[in-house]
Amino acid sequence: MNDKRSFFYESLPNRVVFGVGSLQRLPEELDRLGSQQALLLVGSRKALIDDLMQRLGRRIAEVFLDSVMHVPFEVAQKARARAGQCRADALIAIGGGSAIGLAKAVALESGLPIVAVPTTYAGSEMTPIWGITAGAVKQTGRDLKVLPKVVLYDPSLTMDMPQSLFGASGMNAIAHCVEGLYAEKANPISSLMAAEGIRRLADGMRGIVRDPQDLDHRSEAQYGACLAGMVLGTVGMALHHKLSHVLGGSFNLPHAAVHAILLPHVAQFNADAAPNAMAKIADALNADRAPQGLYDLAVTLKVPTALNDIGMHKADLDRAAELATASEIFNPRPFNRRDIRRLLEAAYDGRPPL
């Protein structure tokens, strides 16, 4: 069901606090949750941790530093044990999808509320989706228990995002919007957020490339990322997210870069099957065609454009195509293993989508 006369839309019960300096509101947000001793889960950013310890004192029961991409089961178990030992009554996750993902793994078991402070554009903070990896297998699921109760977006925290992560992370967020526009559960409300998300992310990030210190552009891009996270959290995704999941999880490639490289090629594959979505994407990017517009944006952001550049082995393309087609998923254009092998080869070479 996907027109303006009849549709379903489900909003998620969380609170967003947005703005430069909003990290300073952390104490009052902890008050709202009734938290006295939280476990802080954070990527290794010493200056930030020192600052928070000074500001929050005893309200931080402990700091857990070991977040790793895709939440390995052993790390989740360690964090869960630490939360129990220090009798945490809340979880504060500061970082990208990895730190927030780890907090979700703890919340899944304990039910503790999460305050998320995202420092990338990945979008996990706005979703009830969790993932835990045991061996080479990543198990994922949806549970409202893991949806952060409060999300504090402070664009100044994205200031030191490394160049290698910045553009790729933004393209990761744009991918949520692109697939949200043609997802099975797409609806006029989520589509409004998706189109606006692409526009804000693209405009904001182009501005950041011109002037990395400009906080207005930083705010614009992070607002786009917030919208993208909402889209990811409320409508299902399609082929692009499936392929990214397979390449990231089974071939140990960097999550955001995989999204950035695949996106123009998946858009090209789906172009004729989702013309309305493509028109909205092209319009938001100010481009003639969506696939080329996405590719050009990746080039502007200096993101790698070839799987070959990020450590994928050509010999693994067959296996990747096999894994991606092992189970059925929704996509506006049906596909088989040969289609996916061809798509992956174009992404491996980094050819512009034609």
Ligand X SMILES: NC(=O)c1ccc[n+]([C@@H]2O[C@H](COP(=O)([O-])OP(=O)(O)OC[C@H]3O[C@@H](n4cnc5c(N)ncnc54)[C@H](O)[C@@H]3O)[C@@H](O)[C@H]2O)c1
- Residue count of the chain, please give it: 354
| First-residue to last-residue Cα distance in the chain | 31
Given a contact cutoff of 8 angstroms between Cβ atoms, the answer to whether 229 and 127 are in contact is: yes
With respect to ligand X, which residue has the nearer C-beta, 251 or 282?
251
Given a contact cutoff of 8 angstroms between Cβ atoms, the answer to whether 348 and 314 are in contact is: yes
At residue 250, what is the residue type? S
At residue 28, what is the residue type? E
Under rule CB under 6 A, residue 22 binds ligand X: no
Residue nearest to ligand X (CB): 97
With respect to ligand X, which residue has the nearer C-beta, 165 or 307?
165
Coil, strand or helix at 33: helix
Which positions from 242 through 281 interact with ligand X, judged by CB under 6 A?
255-256
Element (H, E) at 230: helix 215-234
Which positions from 166 through 195 interact with ligand X, judged by CB under 6 A?
169
Closest distance to ligand X from the beta carbon of 177 (Å): 13
Of 12-20, 22-30, 125-133, 190-198, which segment contacts ligand X by CB under 6 A? Answer: 125-133
Of 114-122, 191-199, 211-219, 276-284, which segment contacts ligand X by CB under 6 A? Answer: 114-122
Under rule CB under 6 A, residue 70 binds ligand X: yes
Under rule CB under 6 A, residue 113 binds ligand X: no
Under rule CB under 6 A, residue 353 binds ligand X: no
With respect to ligand X, which residue has the nearer C-beta, 47 or 326?
47
Instruction: Work out whether the CA dihedral 270, 124, 221, 312 comes out positive or negative.
Output: negative
Given a contact cutoff of 8 angstroms between Cβ atoms, the answer to whether 297 and 260 are in contact is: no
Site map 29..58 versus ligand X, x via CB under 6 A: --------------x---------------
Which positions from 90 through 109 interact with ligand X, judged by CB under 6 A?
95-99, 101
C-alpha 155/C-alpha 23 separation (Å) is 10
User: Which residue's entry shows tokens 């009052």?
Assistant: 28
Under rule CB under 6 A, residue 122 binds ligand X: yes
Under rule CB under 6 A, residue 119 binds ligand X: yes
Phi, psi at residue 161, to the nearest 5°? -60, 130
Element (H, E) at 150: strand 150-153
Closest distance to ligand X from the beta carbon of 141 (Å): 10
Q: Which of 261, 249, 351 is nearest to 298 (CA)?
A: 261
With respect to ligand X, which residue has the nearer C-beta, 43 or 293?
43
C-alpha 130/C-alpha 337 separation (Å) is 28
Under rule CB under 6 A, residue 14 binds ligand X: no
Q: Which residues bind ligand X (CB under 6 A)?
A: 43, 69-70, 95-99, 101, 119-120, 122-124, 127, 129, 131, 157-158, 160-162, 165, 169, 232, 255-256
